[in-house]
Chains A and B, each alone.
Chain A
Amino acid sequence: MLQGALDMLILRSLVIGPAHGHTIAHAIEHGSDRVLQVEHGSLYPALHRLEDRALVASFWGTSENNRKAKYYRLTPAGRKMLAAETSRWEQLVRAIGRVMKPTTD
């Protein structure tokens, strides 16, 4: 996966509200129609890094099936970063698209 893309995906999956690692992993997997297959474990160092950069904040809560779980939510800084990353990503996709499929005007 592209450098920084995982971070962006995590931030994106937290837009709808706080979630724990398991939910985030499945959200990314399902959201991409199982195209993006990640080892779920690799998510956690990324989450840890985001928390260190204060883009997400964490708290311990109880999951839907009554398990203890660590929840993550977006911080305002995270929201700002997501917006920036999203527009940068869109630019990148457009740019790559133009190269891959040049319009022959």
Chain B
Amino acid sequence: MAWTKFFRRSERDDDTAREIASYIAIETDDNIARGMSPQAAHDAAVRKFGNPTKVREEIYWMNTVRPVDTIWQDLKYAARLLKRDKGFAAAAILSLALGIGANTAIFQLLDAVRLRTLPVTDPQELAVIHFPRGSKLSGRFSSRMPFMTSAQVDELRKQRLDDVFSGMFAWSSLQLNTATGGEVRNADTLWVSGETFDVLGVRPAIGRLIAPGDDRPGCGSPPAVLSYAYWQRAFGGSPSALGQTVRLDGTQFDIVGVAAPGFFGVDVGRQFDVAIPLCADALLPSSRGRIESRGNFWLAVVGRLQPGQTVASATDRLIAVSPAIMAASVPDGYTSEGQQHYKDNKLNARAASSGLSDLREQFAQPLFVLLAGTGLVLLIACANLANLLLARATARQREIAIRLAIGASRRRIVGQLLIESVLLALVGTVLGMVVARALTGVLMAQLAAGMGSLFLDLSWNMTVFAFTAAVAGAACLLFGLAPAMQATAVAPVAALRAGGRGISEARGRFGLRKALVVAQVALSLVLLIGALLFGQTLYNVLTIDAGFDQQVIQVELSHPSLQPEDPVQLQIVREDLRQRIAAAPGIADAVLVNNAPLTGNWRNEYVFAEGKPEKALANFSTVGPNYFEALGVPIVKGRSISAADTLNAAPVAVVNETFAKKFFPDREVVGNRIWIEVAEGTPVTKIEVVGISRDAKYGDIREDFDPVVHLPMAQNSDGRLVRILVKPRGRMDGVMATITREVGRVNPAISIEMRVIGQSVRDGLVRERLMAALSAAFGALAGLLAAIGIYGVMSYTVTRRANEIGIRLAMGASRRGVLRLVIVEAVWLVGIGLVIGAALGLGAAKAARSLLFGLQPTDPVTIGAAIALLATIGFIASYLPARRASRVDPMNVLRQE
């Protein structure tokens, strides 16, 4: 068998050598016996034998697989060469590792967020049923995917769409508290209708999953299914978890089973800890009546398409049945106009094979932009490598010429040079995978900080491997092929005649090197423009003036004892808590609020202003009397909300400047009245505007100022959660512990959730931070590579033109003139690169417009700065070789001639 021979080939080669030696020895002995001198005897023996090397080679080739052996030889040769040229090898491998690693990391994230299908049975059959963008819906929206209300889902089921969907389920994801008091410990809870696991085709690891019988009105003793990860974490994977209970918001759930490992839910980027039936909403003390209240959007519905059905055919059916569904599910309290809008909405179907994700909307585009960035970095690295390899090939021209002259085939030499590139790419890729691992870790940590929690399966799969291999292969061809072809394209005679000086430099080859530098400069400029635009964006978002002091802790307290029915009692309980916290050491002030700005809690309503027939949307904040003082929001006109604005006093409001401008463009606001739109037949409460406050951000720090109405807490109580804004006196340290202690004194069973508003706002800027950090890294890398490229080519030019420069100097040219001569050439290269790069960069920036904040993609300052920066880099990188050229001693150079 050829392979056993192959692996023993060197052993057999030694054997052959010994055999040949044995022949020579015996023949020599014979010759000596015939009377020859030892030397003559040996020579005669060798003559008789023929060419030992040739014989040995002939036998060797019989024992080996020729191409494998050739490649192995070339690899070893390439490795030896690279080992000798450590600087080059390190630069090449490092730039490749960074390029390939960055590409792989970003692609891995993109794959996990965007491309991979759900780990369930036949995910391609799944479709999500939803209202398309632009639908007119209003009500209360909770959960991450608040697509439908319970009433809509019930009506949808009544339509019996069995011809289109073989199964259908509704789900929601909300957090529930597993602690029994004190600091909240949230479990990610997956709320599912009974069919969910069945339709998805998920199996239990142990026990059973939630079945249709579990999701029934009233819910009985509700079952809970743990995720495999949570089972491992909380119960150490012990089967005795079955039969135990898990406490969620104070309600006991019986653990009936554990879902199969790998099933994380339908929501990509998240994972669930516990799954419970939808009906459990009625059991929780914190119940929001999500099932009964027809205006509560909290469910997402996914259907499994029947064989032969498509998303389009399902959408057609859904549109056809929508009027009936909508007519039967109108929420209470809508005006007749609102009802009409509601009924006009149409359900659609959309493919859900890769799951649903709120991550995707936010990060798919940034990830594509970053992938383009990493692609550019790799291209620049390849251009750089190609340049370095061209330089090496020039240095090795003599060697190659000699080898061609003594009969090496061009193919073999191209192969050998390519193998060197392959070796670089291989090592670079392996290192790149390490880089990718580290980079995805950093990216995940960044993303997780902004998303609260993040779960993405980043294990290596075939798609990622294929991507990395393709990237590495393409890179290898890009930087390796051209230099290899060029190196062997010279006629050996010309190369040899030119001696070691390499003046045989074909014009084409040098043109290629210059083109590579131009390309490098152009691509680097694109990345630099990106880096500056995204850096400026981050700076702009970080320095937005929110209009209020964000160094404030929002404290959320919940417990049945904090929800008395009587509104007067409710106020007493809340005020007591507020005063205790406000009086604690280290705390400057505490304010009761229903919703604080920039915390994701918002409420908006249609508002009418007196004397103006048309309504408009306005945001609402319900706040305690000291709100404006504590948050540092000045009252610009009229008065603030005061302690005298009680339940029995006349209803009042403080509006912000934007509200005043929008609702009373040319009239006095203070003293005028406004009211909230209500359904026909409901009494209207007219509210007097008593003051105007300075504008402050409300929903998202990136949005413009919206009209906001502030209502007094005492006149607008809503009894579920107690929210208190706490302003620390000086430093934040220890303030949270103080709050926990003070609340615990009132009742240790009260659940507490706290966050610093400013901190969560900054965490929420993860997209901007990610783009800025990564594009800055890419930009810096690109600038460095471009500098190396320019320096390399200019140094080379100078060496090549040493004679010419020497002659010029000898003929009386000034050193400044020589300096100018060289620099002008560099200026041309960099200039052309900058022009091309500016055009490309403008196009790229326009494509990424939606990721920018506070500046235009064509921002002249940014683009000018990028150009100036790269021009400076280019100038320095070419000045050094130019100065070297101008300092040559003409006598020395000419003597070498």
Contacts and interface: CB of A to CB of B under 8 A. Distances in A.
Interface in B30-54: 48-52, 54
B148 to A, nearest CB: 77
A67 B49 contact: no
B159 interface: no
A22 B27 contact: yes
A59 to B, nearest CB: 12
B2 to A, nearest CB: 10
A12 interface: no
B22 A45 contact: no
B434 interface: no
B23 A45 contact: no
Contacts of B50: 39-42
A79 interface: no
B11 interface: no
Given A41-B50, A52-B62, A22 B16 contact: no
Contacts of A65: 26, 29
B25 interface: yes
A42 B57 CA distance: 12
Using C-beta atoms within 8 Å of the partner chain, give the interface range for chain A: 10 to 19
A42 B55 contact: yes
A41 B21 CA distance: 11
Interface string B1-27: 000010000000001101110110111
Contacts, number: 61
B733 interface: no
Contacts of A67: 22, 25-26, 29
A70 B12 CA distance: 13
B27 A45 contact: no
Using C-beta atoms within 8 Å of the partner chain, give the interface range for chain B: 20 to 34
A48 B16 contact: yes
A22 B23 CA distance: 6
A48 B62 contact: yes
Contact of B22 (A25, A42, A52, A69): A69
A41 B49 contact: yes
Contacts of A69: 19, 22, 26
A22 B26 contact: yes
Interface in A31-63: 39-42, 44-45, 48-49, 52, 63
Given A22-B26, A65-B26, A45 B59 contact: yes
A100 to B, nearest CB: 32
A15 to B, nearest CB: 21
B10 to A, nearest CB: 15
B119 to A, nearest CB: 53
B16 to A, nearest CB: 7
A80 interface: no
A44 B19 contact: yes
A21 interface: yes
A87 B19 CA distance: 32
B25 A70 contact: no
A70 B14 CA distance: 13
Contacts of A49: 62
A42 B19 CA distance: 13
B810 to A, nearest CB: 61
Contacts of B29: 65, 67
Nearest to B47: A39
Given A39-B49, A40-B49, A45 B26 contact: no
A63 B24 CA distance: 13
A77 B19 CA distance: 24
B59 A44 contact: yes
A94 interface: no
B58 interface: yes
B59 A48 contact: yes
A21 B23 contact: yes
A70 B26 CA distance: 12
Contacts of A42: 50, 55
Contacts of A25: 23
Contact of B19 (A21, A39, A52): A21
A52 B16 CA distance: 14
Nearest to B58: A45
A44 B55 contact: yes
Nearest to B5: A52
A68 interface: yes
Contacts of B54: 41
A44 B16 contact: yes
A73 interface: no
Contacts of B25: 67
Nearest to B24: A22
Given A41-B52, A42-B50, A45-B55, 5 more contacts: A20-B23, A40-B48, A41-B50, A68-B22, A70-B19
Interface of B: 5, 15-16, 18-20, 22-23, 25-27, 29, 48-52, 54-55, 58-59, 62
Interface of A: 20-22, 25, 39-42, 44-45, 48-49, 52, 63, 65, 67-70
The 9 A-B pairs of least Cβ separation, nearest first, read A41-B50, A39-B50, A41-B55, A41-B49, A22-B26, A45-B58, A70-B19, A69-B22, A48-B59
7 contacts: A40-B48, A41-B49, A44-B20, A45-B59, A45-B62, A67-B22, A67-B26
